[in-house]
Every structure is written in structure tokens, then in C-alpha cells.
């Protein structure tokens, strides 16, 4: 019985660790893409090319409540 409880705790710890690793990987991927887009724009500007507004829009939604989780009672927020 004790062995199965310990094994369950270990499996839960591994699952939580994998979830955290996945979040870190996603954050690093977003940061890499944002930096790559900025580098491409800077290189084009350095070559003297006209650099229009970015075509790729990097959106960061950190801090927004996850779907399915209760939010505050003030109602839906609006982005301005």
C-alpha cells in the first residue's frame, strides 16, 4: 500500500514538472520568435530598406485568467 502511494506521489510530481517545463518551453519559444522578428526588422532597416509596420503581431496574454477558471466579479474586461 505504501509503495503505491509513493509511486502515485512520484507520478504526480513528474506530471507537474512536465507541465512546468512545457510552460517554460512555450515562453522561451514566444521570446525567440519575438526577438527573431525584431532582428529581421533591424537588419532590413540597416540595409536601408523601408520597414513597414510588422506583419507578424506578437501578442502576450499573460495575466489573463485561464478558460474555465472563475474570474473576478467585475465582469468582462475590455482591452483599450
Distances (CA, A) of 52 to 44, 55, 77: 10, 8, 31
> What pLDDT shows up at residue 52?
82
- State pLDDT tens for residues 2-39: 778 777 878 878 888 888 888 899 999 999 998 998 99
Which is higher by pLDDT, 65 or 9? Answer: 9
Distance CA 80, CA 63 (A): 16
> What pLDDT shows up at residue 32?
94
> What pLDDT shows up at residue 35?
92
Across the range 43-63, mean pLDDT stands at 81
Q: Report the percent of the chain where pLDDT is more than 70.
A: 72
Amino acid at each position: 500500500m505504501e509503495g503505491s502511494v509513493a509511486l502515485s506521489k512520484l507520478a504526480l510530481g513528474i506530471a507537474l514538472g512536465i507541465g512546468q517545463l512545457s510552460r517554460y518551453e512555450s515562453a522561451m519559444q514566444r521570446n525567440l520568435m519575438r526577438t527573431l522578428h525584431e532582428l529581421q526588422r533591424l537588419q532590413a532597416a540597416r540595409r536601408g530598406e523601408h520597414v513597414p509596420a510588422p506583419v507578424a503581431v506578437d501578442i502576450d496574454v499573460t495575466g489573463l485568467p485561464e478558460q474555465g477558471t472563475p474570474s473576478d466579479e467585475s465582469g468582462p474586461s475590455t482591452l483599450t
